Homo-oligomer: A and B are copies of this chain.
Amino acid sequence: MSAAFYQNEVQFYVAVDCIILGFNKNELYVLLYKRKFEPLKGKWSLMGGFVKAGESINEAASRVLTECTGINELFMEQVGAYGDVTRDLGERVISVAYYSLVNMSEFQSKILKEHNAVWTKISELPTLIFDHEQMIKDTLSILKKKAATRPVGFNLLPEKFTLPQLQSLYEAIYQTSLDKRNFRKKLNSMDILEKLDEKDKKNSKRGAFFYTFNKEKYDKLLEDGFYFSL
């Protein structure tokens, strides 16, 4: 046991809140659920939980993510710490927000039901408890910068995706429309995608070719000083 060095200081509850983002049909989604305990039971909320003894805050976020998604080792990054005195209406809680990018199509509706969780369009957010709307806003702003310089967007897509899909993802992240030819030209010049023979015919009669992100190629390019940029 360690000595009680800091016993004159105050302690706080520390929570993690997870902004779990998905993408489907030109829209970004966030996973929300109806809070299961007081205060504000039944209100819309981010997925979260308290940090437990013996668990780092990263581990806590990781645990909450696995509970909510059934998936281990998701892409996850810290958004920041939220520490206003009255941010939680119950007692004082300091929360550390994490965002995660997941492939919605892998999601089982079983897990959604277990948690009363609902994929909600970013453009149609209901009122959320506490500062959760701010957390989402901060996440989207981080994602904008991150997606421009790192290939994190692929986490939001299935293993196999089409170029129109990828483009509409970036349009959703940047909240703007992109030129098809310029977008493809840039991707082509980076040489980090593999074109498959298979086509996706869900969205057009002609069909669009599937691609995969080639992480090995990307990592090799990185070593040679290559910089991703979209």
CB-CB nearest in chain B for A58 = B83
- The one of B12, B54, B55, B81 that contacts A80, using a Cβ cutoff of 8 Å: B81
Q: How large is the interface on A (under 10, 10 to 19, 20 to 34, 35 or more residues)?
A: 35 or more
A interface majority secondary structure: loop
Closest approach, in angstroms, between the C-beta of A92 and any C-beta of chain B?
A: 8
Q: Given the known A-B contacts A11-B12, A12-B14, A13-B11, are A6 and B81 also in contact in the complex, defined by CB atoms under 8 Å? A: no
A51 within 8 A of B: yes
- The one of B5, B13, B53, B96 that contacts A6, using a Cβ cutoff of 8 Å: B13
Q: Given the known A-B contacts A3-B90, A14-B14, are A54 and B85 also in contact in the complex, defined by CB atoms under 8 Å? A: yes
Q: Given the known A-B contacts A12-B14, A13-B11, A78-B80, are A6 and B85 also in contact in the complex, defined by CB atoms under 8 Å? A: no
Given contact pairs A55-B85, A80-B81, enumerate 11 new A-B contacts (beta carbons under 8 Å).
A2-B90, A5-B90, A10-B53, A11-B13, A12-B12, A12-B14, A51-B94, A54-B85, A57-B81, A80-B80, A81-B81
Chain B contacts of A145 at CB under 8 A? 145
A117 within 8 A of B: no
B50/A9 in contact, CB under 8 A: yes
Give the top 8 A-B pairs by smallest Cβ distance, nearest first: A57-B83, A11-B11, A5-B90, A81-B81, A9-B50, A81-B96, A10-B53, A56-B84
CB-CB nearest in chain B for A85 = B56
Chain B contacts of A54 at CB under 8 A? 85
A91/B51 in contact, CB under 8 A: no
Closest approach, in angstroms, between the C-beta of A61 and any C-beta of chain B?
A: 9
Closest approach, in angstroms, between the C-beta of A62 and any C-beta of chain B?
A: 12
A2/B91 in contact, CB under 8 A: yes
Bound: A96/B79 CA distance, A: 12
Closest approach, in angstroms, between the C-beta of A206 and any C-beta of chain B?
A: 38
CB-CB nearest in chain B for A37 = B5
Bound: A96/B96 CA distance, A: 10
